[in-house]
A and B are shown apart, each in its own frame.
Chain A
Amino acid sequence: MHGTLFVVWTMVGATSLTLAAVHGIVWLLDRRRSPNLAFCLLAVAVAGIARTEFGLARAATVEEYAQWLRWFYVASFGATAGVVLFVRLYFGTGRVWLGWVVVLLRGLVVAGNVLAPAGSSWQVVRLDRIPVFGELAAVSADAVVRPLQWVATSASFVFLAYVFDATVALWRRPERDARRKAALVGGAIIGTRLAATLQAQLIVWGIVAMPVMVSPAFLIMLAAMTYELCRDIVASAHIEKEAHRLRDELAHVARVGTLGELSGSLAHELNQPLGAILRNAEAAKMLLDRHTPDLDELRAIVADIRADDQRAAAIIERMRGLLKRKSLELHAVSLQPLVQEVLALVRNDAAARRVTLDFAMPEELPPVAADRVQVSQVLLNLLVNGIDAVSDANATVRRVAVEARRTGPRTVEVTVADSGHGISPEILPRVFEPFVTTKAKGLGIGLAVSRTIVEAHGGRLWAHNNDRSGATFRFTLPIAEPAT
């Protein structure tokens, strides 16, 4: 027949183990979260304390009591070491040597009680049974206190000093959440420890006859720690989301900038069909003024006006697509039309600067998992850079070549090679750093943003100089999973 005590300790144990499991999983999923691992170990130790406390209360004989006491020392060593570790990893403050002193002193107590005959620090010689929550629990009625007990007690004080010191240091830190964390977690640890130490003294010195019941207090400490750890997880999820948003935003800004650089040639491209429409309309008007208008010619004119209009609309659509503000979305994208569209955007600029654009890719290249707009942006950026490089170099061979090919079972590589002056050796290692630029008007974010985009796709972007002339930029993209 189990009573309230059983229920309390079982609940404490189960809660601790549940928390331990949750934070253990968090650590497994993200190994950088070492405080969660420390918490996991600590929570397991608290469950151990709860179990041994139950054993102590149910001990029938002095020998059995001593046996459970041994395990109690082991569990509370785990809890102490766990807290020391947690404070160190989570607060990042405090004196490490103090922490080691605590671990060493508690280690001595454990060693003394586990290796030596039972009761090396505190030996119960007579048990009593008193009613607690309506059932009888074993309590110490008479005990001998040995010198090792002083080690345990001083360990508690060193522990309090260690935590207090670390908490104060955290409190003084400038981070926004430092004070709340220090007050909540540091306060909970110190409070719990004070309660546990006080209870231990009362029992050890036989001042109050009561069963060992420190684990419920530990639960409060675990709750405070869990609260802060969860807050951190939520906050970092926010930060990650914010980082994604900023990346998309920056990509958009860079895209607008690149299109701005191309605006002259894009305006020209738009003027082609618009001018053609105007001339066709003018010709049609003059044809209509004649006595016998040539209807076939008029039909041909109207058909051309239609085609011109569609062409203008397509140019605007292409630009609009790139100017749109949207977050990264991966779809199966066929590279052939994507490259063609980007080439269409720079074709005029290239022609004006007498740069030939080449494009080669095998027909059977599978679609890649990519965000159409952002990959277009990377390609656009590399092409604009390549055209600039060729143009600046005043080279006789004036070409920028785009190639795409499969380089692995799951990888497609796209290269943009120019016949310009190449990248100077001092710039080459830093070309992907933000604000590194060789252009008079450039902001120097194009390549940095491009690399971020490619990496967000799970690919790589890198550059090298060619053997003969110019530079080559290469990036990889993952092949899309076949549609299911």
Chain B
Amino acid sequence: MSHEYVSVVDDDGLVLRSLARLFEAHGFSVRAFSSARDFLEGESRPGPGCIVMDLSMPGLNGLELQQALTATADSRPVIFISGHGSVPSSVEAMKAGAVDFLTKPLDEQKLLGAVRIALQKDRSAREKDAERSAIMDRLATLTLRERQVLGRVVAGKLNKQIAAELGTAEKTIKVHRARMMRKMAVDSLAQLVRAWTLSQPPAA
């Protein structure tokens, strides 16, 4: 897994530098951007990490940048900082998936805490992503018949029922099922169901 960064976006140069220094002093790796445009250009291939951005910036503002990120499937957690936390904009930001919404004057501990939580969230999201893609890879190795068996097993059907539905002997289904379990790298029905659930696209 590549190194994680805290990306800071603020149009105010002095504020930007002080934020970057604070994070660096606390051991985070930082990338600083003085505008939304710079950020979008500089992070076209985003790695792990989180984003700390000012809500009101000239040009593309924080909320618009957040929308742009959603559009490019950049799922990094976003922490907004704002000098004047108006209720509508904070609601909008949180709805769009912001981790936190901090108002200036910033409380250092809160800010650092929010960054830690955001990074943690990003990490677990990435782990989940990694797991899901591993399962997807395994699913891809199944034959058509094995997939048919899998679908019916997770639906709670017995080997006998599956054999009847697919028009083969129960013994044959048992063989398919054992091979499928091995390919999916699971030992129990419970593990199989969990893997199956993970592989399904999240409910909208």
Contact = CB atoms under 8 A, between A and B. Distances in A.
Nearest to B21: A283
Interface string B12-38: 101101110110111000000000000
A286 B83 contact: no
Interface string B79-115: 0000110100000000000000000111010000000
Contact of B14 (A282, A287, A308, A351): A308
B58 interface: yes
B56 interface: yes
Nearest to A277: B18
Interface in A271-317: 271-280, 282-283, 286-287, 297, 301, 304, 307-308, 311
A354 interface: yes
A318 interface: no
Nearest to A264: B84
Contact of A282 (B25, B57, B58, B104): B25
A309 to B, nearest CB: 10
A282 B56 contact: no
Given A264-B84, A268-B84, A272-B83, A279 B105 contact: no
A29 interface: no
Given A274-B105, A275-B105, A283 B84 contact: no
Nearest to A289: B25
A221 B181 CA distance: 128
Contact of B83 (A271, A277, A278, A280): A271
Main secondary structure of the interface of A (DSSP, over half): helix
Nearest to A285: B25
Contact of A279 (B12, B84, B108): B108
B18 A352 contact: no
B61 interface: yes
Interface residues of A, number: 29
Given A268-B83, A276-B14, A283-B21, A351 B58 contact: yes
Contacts of B22: 279-280, 282-283
A265 interface: yes
A308 B104 CA distance: 16
Contacts of B25: 282-283, 286-287
Determine which residue in A282, A297, A307, A348 has the highest number of CB atoms from chain B within 10 A of its CB, and name it.
A282
Contacts of A269: 83
A271 B105 contact: yes
Contact of A265 (B21, B24, B83): B83
Contacts of B84: 264-265, 268, 348, 352
A304 B106 CA distance: 18
Contact of B18 (A271, A275, A286, A297): A275
Contact of B21 (A279, A308, A351): A279
Interface residues of B, number: 22
Contacts of B57: 351
B14 A268 contact: no
Interface in A237-283: 264-265, 268-269, 271-280, 282-283
Interface string A130-169: 0000000000000000000000000000000000000000
A135 to B, nearest CB: 95
A304 B108 CA distance: 18
B61 A354 contact: yes
Contacts of A282: 22, 25, 108
A264 B12 CA distance: 18
Contacts of B56: 348, 351-352, 354
A135 B46 CA distance: 121
A273 B58 CA distance: 18
Nearest to B16: A276
Contacts of A278: 18, 108
A354 B61 CA distance: 9
Determine which residue in B21, B24, B57, B61 has the highest number of CB atoms from chain A within 10 A of its CB, and name it.
B21
B83 A273 contact: no
Contacts of B15: 272, 275-276
Contacts of A351: 56-58
A301 B17 CA distance: 9
Interface of A: 264-265, 268-269, 271-280, 282-283, 286-287, 297, 301, 304, 307-308, 311, 348, 351-352, 354, 356
The 8 closest A-B pairs by CB, nearest first: A268-B83, A283-B21, A276-B18, A286-B25, A279-B18, A283-B25, A351-B56, A279-B22
26 contacts: A264-B84, A268-B83, A269-B83, A271-B105, A272-B14, A272-B15, A273-B14, A275-B15, A275-B18, A275-B104, A275-B106, A278-B108, A279-B21, A279-B108, A280-B17, A283-B22, A283-B24, A304-B14, A304-B17, A304-B18, A307-B14, A308-B18, A348-B56, A348-B83, A352-B84, A354-B56
